[in-house]
């Protein structure tokens, strides 16, 4: 029996920052609505690679490179040498390449918090629910042949 995509969301074209090109590129993916902390979480597919983009408006350390720990319930991922980019005067973002199995973790647990420069930014229950929702849809879409993108 072939898997079905039960997600109602289709991929949209949005801007993803390309570290290699030092510019924004148009990519297909999904994004949360603006979250309670005025941030946003986006997932992108570029070729056979997947990217997580976290936009934040608190705990800003523009252009700092450091370790980023992303917590998903009792699990965490800690990529090293991640740069916090400045989007504008009040907003920063991170872009992390992720594996498909990490997207499965996000669909189950969302993002409960992230720690950068020894400072933790937490997400409320509704925000976690929104992150889980787009992660589930993204995961279904990348795993089902001929899924709507």
Per-residue model confidence as pLDDT tens digits over 7-35: 778 899 999 998 878 889 899 999 999 99
Burial class (CB in 10 A: 0-12, 13-18, 19+), 95: middle
Reading the block at residue 139, the tokens are 């995961």
Q: How many CB atoms lie within 10 A of CB 83?
A: 18
Per-residue model confidence as pLDDT tens digits over 37-54: 899 999 999 989 999 999
* Topology of the domain comprising 12-143: Immunoglobulin-like (2.60.40)
Per-residue model confidence as pLDDT tens digits over 83-138: 999 999 999 999 999 999 999 999 999 999 999 999 999 999 999 999 999 999 99
Q: In angstroms, rounded to a whole number, what is the distance separating the alpha carbons of residues 101 and 24?
A: 26
Question: Whole-model pTM?
Answer: 0.90
Ranges of each domain in the chain: 12-143
């Amino acid at each position: 029996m072939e898997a079905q995509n039960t997600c109602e969301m289709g991929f949209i074209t949005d801007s993803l920052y390309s570290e290699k090109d030092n510019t924004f590129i148009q990519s297909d993916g999904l994004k949360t609505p603006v979250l309670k902390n005025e941030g946003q979480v986006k997932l992108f597919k570029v070729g056979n690679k997947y990217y997580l983009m976290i936009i934040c408006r608190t705990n800003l350390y523009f252009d700092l490179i450091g370790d980023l720990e992303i917590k998903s319930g009792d699990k965490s991922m800690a990529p090293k040498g991640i740069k916090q980019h400045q989007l504008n005067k009040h907003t920063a973002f991170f872009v992390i390449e992720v594996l498909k199995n990490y997207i499965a973790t996000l669909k189950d647990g969302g993002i409960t918090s992230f720690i950068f420069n020894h400072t933790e930014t937490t997400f409320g229950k509704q925000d976690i629910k929104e992150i889980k929702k787009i992660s589930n849809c993204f995961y279904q879409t990348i795993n089902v042949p001929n899924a709507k993108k």
